[in-house]
Amino acid sequence: MVPGMCGRRINFLRPMNYFIFNTGGDWDSTTLYNNGQEFLANQLYIKLETSRDYDGRPMRGGLRNGGDASAYAVSQDDSVGQYAIFPGKIDLEVPTHKVTIENTSPMFAIEFTRVWLDSVEVTEQVTDIEVNVDAVNNQVSGYITVYKPHFLGADEVATYNLLGN
């Protein structure tokens, strides 16, 4: 057997991640599940940024323009360390919104990422997502930004606060 093949096969057969992050607005009501089992984590971190125009401003097109993303959960189990969320799917359920991010490509290619905001797909409008739930440092922040083109009137870059102020 070629070294590494076994591990790769096991990884390939591993069920796709399906994280569900839910919070009511405080630590006591905050939970993180993966495939139906609670995932004890010190941190949940998601950052997605789509490409900008030449002046560095957001532009229409969303993830069609490409971009960069990183998403992981830091387990309380030191042996696990950073656990990649993708390939897979995560639901971010906060009191005011629900955001779903999905990328099922094995290599986590950014162009296969799809995003829903409140059950409406915003894959081609999203410009930024950042979620940081850091229990160790007691820091919570999160937002999603979408680009809304308007036929008449100025285009809109709308930021929806998910967590924190």
Rule CB under 8 A: which residues touch another protein?
Answer: 55, 57-58, 96, 151-161
Q: How far is the CB of 29 from another protein (least distance, A)?
A: 18
Which one, 2 or 152, has the nearer CB to another protein?
Answer: 152
Q: How far is the CB of 92 from another protein (least distance, A)?
A: 15
Q: Which is nearer to another protein, 88 or 142 (CB)?
A: 142
Return d(Cα 35, Cα 29) in angstroms, integer. 19
Tokens of 16: 């796709």
CB of 143 to another protein, least distance (A): 8
Residue closer to another protein, measured from CB, 83 or 130: 130
Among 158, 120, 123, 149, smallest CA distance to 59 is for 149
Dist. CA 5–CA 142, nearest whole Å: 38
Question: Which residue lies nearer to another protein by CB, 10 or 154?
Answer: 154
Strand 126-134: give its sheet, edge to edge. Answer: 82-84, 67-75, 41-50, 126-134, 139-148
Q: How far is the CB of 150 from another protein (least distance, A)?
A: 9
Q: Which two tokens stand for residue 39?
A: 């995932």
